[in-house]
């Protein structure tokens, strides 16, 4: 199997009916970077920067963050890297930061909420990224954006840092794109506004599904109760893909479901053309794509969603469909 997938490395991910899908890779540590070349992924679609912070003995200084981002970019010479700003809080604890007791940490002070309330930390991280991205294409996205105002506030901080760098005559990135993660359900009702304002959108389906179903993603008692392949989740995800297409904002999905072949099939059928996943998922998902007639799958999934039979998941039907092809 592994060898079979290795052979697919340089084969473009194109469906039988000629639709090209962009497959990107998720990463979080420098040791993940060689997979970029091995898998043939188009880019790093999600770089989880908090891992460096979680492993450090204390809060990394600006120069340490800079060296780290520079090393990551140097390990991806021809390909873009999408850095996600610090997503700490909830399950991701920094041992050297005062622990805050919260009744509901997943609903608590985390990710961009900390970044906006303690802008010094976010500013330092953005400055390190902007410097590390000198003369390159730099992509940065903000986690847990709940409304357009939070995106605008984070963007303003990034632009202020860019201005600072230019005024001090440091080399700045040749191109900068700022994106929003779509993983808090409230954003679905501002999806047109955010699609107009962000340079790109990235769907964090792990969190989006957790918050849609009010079911802790790390508590298997409840997380297994609801399926990603349910009509409500698929309709929500479709709405995001449609808004991106309508406003010319590229949309990638970077949650774990994008790396599972049946779920990836469903995502393509509702309009996704770009997925970012763990390196080991790229081979299996690509091989599904190479065998897929997307036009037909699209019609089939649309008929399942239109049937309104109240079934909690389309998984079994979709699996039978995929096996029968
Ligand atoms: C997600 O929520 O789907 C996501 C990609 O981010 P994380 O798993 O790091 O929360
Ligand atoms: Mg998330």
What's the CA gap between 220 and 20, in Å, rounded? 35
Tokens in use for 110? 């985390």
Q: What is the pLDDT of residue 101?
A: 87
Of all atoms in ligand 1, which is nearest to the CA of residue 204?
A: 3
Residue 116, token pair as written in the block: 């906006």
Residue ranges with CB less than 5 Å from ion ligand 2: 183, 204, 207
Question: For residue 204, which of 219, 221, 217, 220 has the smallest C-alpha distance?
Answer: 217
Which residue from 8, 2, 143, 133 is spatially nearest to 76, judged by alpha carbons? 133
The rounded Å distance from CA 46 to ligand 2 centre is 11
What is the CB < 6 Å shell around ligand 1?
46, 48, 87, 183, 204-207, 254-255
Average pLDDT, the chain: 96
pTM for the model stands at: 0.97
**The predicted structure's pLDDT at residue 93:** 83
Q: What ipTM is given for this predicted complex? A: 0.99
Q: How far apart are CA 221 and CA 92, in angstroms?
A: 21
Residue among 45, 252, 254 to mutate when testing ligand 1 (max atoms within 8 A of CB): 254
Express each pLDDT in 241-288 by its tens digit: 999 999 999 999 999 999 999 999 999 999 999 999 999 999 999 999
Between the CA of 97 and the centroid of ligand 2 the distance, in Å, is 20
**DSSP symbol at 185:** G
Residue whose CB lies within 8 A of the most ligand 1 atoms, among 28, 29, 141, 143, for a mutation test = 143
Give the model confidence (pLDDT) of 179-223 as tens digits: 999 999 999 999 999 999 999 999 999 999 999 999 999 999 999
- Between strands 22-27 and 81-84, the pairing is unpaired
Position 97 scores a pLDDT of 85
Distance 320 CA to ligand 2 centre (A): 30
Cα(218) to centroid of ligand 2, in Å? 12
How close is the Cα of 80 to the center of ligand 1, in Å?
19
């Amino acid at each position: 199997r592994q060898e079979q997938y290795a052979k697919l490395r340089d084969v473009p991910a194109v469906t039988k009916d000629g639709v090209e899908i962009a497959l990107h890779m998720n990463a979080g540590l420098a040791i993940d970077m060689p997979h970029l070349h091995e898998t043939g992924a188009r880019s790093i679609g999600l770089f989880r920067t908090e891992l460096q912070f979680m492993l450090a003995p204390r809060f990394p200084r600006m120069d340490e963050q800079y060296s780290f981002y520079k090393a990551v970019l140097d390990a991806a010479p021809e390909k873009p890297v999408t850095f996600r700003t610090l997503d700490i809080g909830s399950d991701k604890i920094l041992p050297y930061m005062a622990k805050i007791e919260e009744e509901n940490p997943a609903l608590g002070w985390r990710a961009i909420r900390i970044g906006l309330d303690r802008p010094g930390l976010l500013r330092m991280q953005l400055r390190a990224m902007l410097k590390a991205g000198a003369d390159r294409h730099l992509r940065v996205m903000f986690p847990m954006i709940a409304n357009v105002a939070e995106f605008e506030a984070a963007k303003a901080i990034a632009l202020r840092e860019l201005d600072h760098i230019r005024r001090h005559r440091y080399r700045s990135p040749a191109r900068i794109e700022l994106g929003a993660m779509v993983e808090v359900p409230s954003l679905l009702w501002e999806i047109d506004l955010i699609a107009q304002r962000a340079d790109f959108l990235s769907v964090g389906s792990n969190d989006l599904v957790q918050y849609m179903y009010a079911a802790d993603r790390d508590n298997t008692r409840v997380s297994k109760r609801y399926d990603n392949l349910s009509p409500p989740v698929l309709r929500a995800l479709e709405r995001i893909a449609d808004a991106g297409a309508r406003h010319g904002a590229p949309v990638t999905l970077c949650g774990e479901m994008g790396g599972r072949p049946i779920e990836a099939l469903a995502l393509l059928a509702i309009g996704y053309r770009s997925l970012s996943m763990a390196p080991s998922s790229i081979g299996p998902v690509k091989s599904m794509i190479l065998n897929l007639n997307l036009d037909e799958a699209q019609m089939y999934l649309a008929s399942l969603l239109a049937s309104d039979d109240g079934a909690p998941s389309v998984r079994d039907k979709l699996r039978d469909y995929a096996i029968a092809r």
